[in-house]
Amino acid sequence: MLKNYLITAFRAFRRNWNYSVINVVGLTLSLACCLLLFVVIRYELSFDRHHAKADHTYRLIRHFTKPEDGYNVGIPLPVLAALRTDFPALKQQLTYIHDVRRPVVAVEEGRSKGNMRRFQEENGVVAFTEPEFFRLFDYEWVSGDPATALNRPGTVVLSEDLAHKYFGNADPMGRTLKVENKMDFLVTGIVKNPPVTSSIPFHVLLSFSSLKQYGANTNWDDWGSSYTGAQLYLTLPETMAETTMEQQLVPFLRKHISEEEARDQFYELQPLTDIHYTVGMTAFNERTIGKEMIWAMALIGLFLLVTACVNFVNLATAQAIRRSKEVGVRKVLGSSRFQLVRQFLGETGFLTGLAVLLALLIAHFSLSSVAELLNIKLVVSLFGDPVVLGFLILLAVFTTVLAGFYPALVLSGYQPVLALKGKIRASKSGQLTLRRSLIVLQFTISQTLIIGTVIVYNQMDYFRNADLGFRKESIVMIPIPEKKPGQLESLKAKLTGLPGLGAMSFGISSPSARGNWWTGFRYENREKEEDYGVVMRPADTSYVRTYGLKLIAGRINLPADTMREVLVNERFVAKLGLRNPEEILNKTIQLNGRRLPIVGVVKDFNTFSLHQTTEPCVLTTHRDAYGNLGVQVSGNATRVKETLASVEAAWSETFPDFLFKYEFLDDTIANFYAAEERLYALFRLLAGIAIFIGCLGLYGVVAFMAESRTKEVGIRKALGASTSHIFGLFSFQFLKLVFIALLLAAPIAWYFTDKWLQDFAYKIEIKWWMFALAGLLAGVIALVTVSFQSIRAALMNPVTSLRSE
């Protein structure tokens, strides 16, 4: 019986090869997309699940209620000791992680003294932590003892990758490395590499007891100051609820800070397994994705599968009349309806199985490109992963039932007498309305994705071209390591006058930055600090000229090494309730215990990315805080390359123990929106595939209509119908369906894109023309698809089509 079904399926495939190819291509593309999206979603949902205590481990965060509702993942250092004192049961279940940002790690060449190799590491690679770290987080040990490896100052545990990177094939145990040219660390342990699906991705773990000797810029007794890279984690007993601990943290905080400060903040516990999905809250791996986006990908995958199955149903029901006599003969010979349903589902299963095999091959060869597009590290074998293969089997069964069940019911339901007499007509079978409804469904899905793509494109275009209030083109940002007296002046003297260089400025960062220094302040002689903070931008007096900031009142502050005078932005003025920038000149503010005069006002510039509003900002000199050098460059690509080579030579001469790195400011700002760029690329790709699958089905339906109406077209042409009339006969009914689909797609697309745009402080307004453009594109695509068959039918010689009559 099975052999008979396979032979019948193969004959049906060969007899209607053109429609079969359309079905297989559509199913292959949709199944490949579903498989790839499944792999991506599985990757995203697996973050931090490898830790045995993941469900009971939390990150401590500060929730502020004033001046605005917000969070800070940085925890002041004294909190760690206070928690261990006040909650002795958690003493061994707490740990502190202090990330070292972009450090230079130096190791000796072989066993020779003085000859050093240097490596620039990224954020989230090197951190100070405690032995308790290994109680909370699971690392597989290769060498060393987790209980003692980080007990002593000056010790370090390395991952296998970093151990091989620093020391090659030699045994790393007992070797030393130097971090930021400050301190030597002895290797006391080697662990397996942390999984790529980890929010705690560190490969170099330094002993926390070395932090003070290392000279980290940390206030050991201040409960107010914090650093976002210094985070506290804890594991609760299985008997203690998260809410219970949060309630106990309220009196804990009031015990250690003033009543006034405690009113505006409280501590919360964020589950470890939620960190990866909290967009906008700092993670060590600097990559987060909202769960809404993950489920959106799953929904799009389902849409693509439904689109391909709609093709199958449409083409199968359209061709049902052709097989009516076959059904009649089989029923006369004794076949039951159940047997016929099984046969037709078997034919669908045959095509689905072929599509699954082709989809698996496409997904295999596309996996690396998808990983690169989404900036993820996929480590999976599609052919050897039982979960992936199990998903494919379920997907194949689901697709077979979804695509084949209704056509099988229709075909098996024909009455043998009517079927053998040829009295079954498509127009009377109730299938025409269904096919039209399914085409509307296909184009609703396609136009929803097109509208989404158009809106995302316009938002991305706004990001690229928005006026940020400062110059970002042709400026190179060069990180400055910890400096000694005179080094900044020496570097500036060497760079001054180099060909291709313009203005240059030392500062804490560029005008727009991810990390910012917030502080409170007191205006004039007011008794209390304002109930909002300001963003500090310590920089030298060339900052305004280098970045093209616009001075709208007063003057530039005078050169100094410490805070002497300040500039403020328009937002600062407005927040104080002043209408004219001139009103604030020569007034004073108190910062860090010092009273400083306001000597100028600059036009607002974006202190953050466009995800956030521009905040009150203070520019002042403060040499110790300068961490970057911004330099204007000019000339063509070759000239700029030569200029940067000269800059590197001067920089390396000034800082011989560090590595020269640079980044163009416009690239840095573009990276603020890397996640949105990836989203746009994904939308564009999936929308294109959905449209292509829909057009395949539309082409097949039109081809069948043209074939079945050959004689009608011949009669119309014999009676004088023009080619354009015949073309319109086929085209107009499909354009109506596209328009109906637009009416359905528009509110769906508006709802989801409007919700997405809420994440941005600065965003485009959704306009009517975006929906009209999507409808026009879908209409043109449908028209072009229909035109191939309709024009062919219109140009056919009526004598040929009517000859049999």
List the beta bridge partners of residue 617: 535
Task: At 427, give phi and psi (nearest 5°).
Answer: -70, -20
- pLDDT tens for 606-661 read 988 888 889 899 999 999 889 899 999 998 888 999 999 999 999 999 998 888 99
- pLDDT tens for 119-139 read 988 888 999 999 999 999 999
Angstrom CA distances, 399 to 306, 314, 391, 403, 678, stand at: 9, 15, 12, 6, 29
Higher pLDDT, 57 or 417: 57
What pLDDT was estimated at residue 286?
64
Helix (H) or strand (E) holding 155: strand 155-159
For the chain, what is the mean pLDDT? Answer: 84
Average of per-residue pLDDT across 393-415:
75
Cα angle for residues 27, 29, 35 (degrees, 5° grid): 95
> In 137-232, where does DSSP find H-type helix?
160-167, 211-214
Closest C-alpha to 192, from 235, 134, 231, 128: 134
What pLDDT was estimated at residue 212?
86
- pLDDT tens for 10-20 read 666 666 666 77
What pLDDT was estimated at residue 408?
65
Interatomic CA distance for residues 509 and 521, integer angstroms? 21
Reduce the DSSP state of residue 469 to 3 states and report it: coil
Average of per-residue pLDDT across 200-226:
83
What pLDDT was estimated at residue 13?
60
What pLDDT was estimated at residue 485?
81
pLDDT category of residue 248 using cuts at 50, 70 and 90: very high
pLDDT over 90 (residue 582) = yes
Higher pLDDT, 596 or 279: 596
Reduce the DSSP state of residue 385 to 3 states and report it: coil
pTM for this entry: 0.83
Average of per-residue pLDDT across 217-242:
83
> Among 209-218, 337-346, 539-548, 733-742, which stretch is predicted with the lowest mean pLDDT?
337-346
pLDDT over 80 (residue 723) = no
pLDDT over 60 (residue 421) = no
- pLDDT tens for 295-326 read 888 888 888 888 888 887 777 766 655 555 56
- pLDDT tens for 496-543 read 888 989 999 999 999 998 777 778 788 988 888 787 888 899 999 999
Q: Which two tokens stand for residue 695?
A: 């057009």
What pLDDT was estimated at residue 14?
64
- pLDDT tens for 756-804 read 888 888 999 999 999 999 889 888 888 888 777 677 766 666 666 555 4
The number of angstroms, rounded, from the C-alpha of 481 to the middle of its chain's C-alpha atoms is: 30
What pLDDT was estimated at residue 624?
87
pLDDT category of residue 428 using cuts at 50, 70 and 90: very low
What pLDDT was estimated at residue 429?
46
Residue 227's region, left for phi above 0, alpha for psi from -120 to 50, else beta, is: beta
Closest C-alpha to 57, from 201, 197, 192, 238: 238
pLDDT over 60 (residue 424) = no
Higher pLDDT, 160 or 714: 160
What pLDDT was estimated at residue 324?
56
What pLDDT was estimated at residue 596?
93
What pLDDT was estimated at residue 557?
92
pLDDT over 60 (residue 486) = yes
Please, is 1 exposed, middle or buried when counting C-beta atoms within 10 Å of its C-beta (0-12, 13-18, 19+)? Answer: exposed
Higher pLDDT, 413 or 507: 507
pLDDT over 80 (residue 282) = no
Ordered DSSP codes for 282-345:
--TTS----HHHHHHHHHHHHHHHHHHHHHHHHHHHHTGGGGHHHHHHHHHTT--HHHHHHHHH
- pLDDT tens for 706-720 read 666 666 767 776 666
pLDDT category of residue 427 using cuts at 50, 70 and 90: very low
- pLDDT tens for 349-384 read 888 888 999 999 999 999 888 888 888 888 777 887
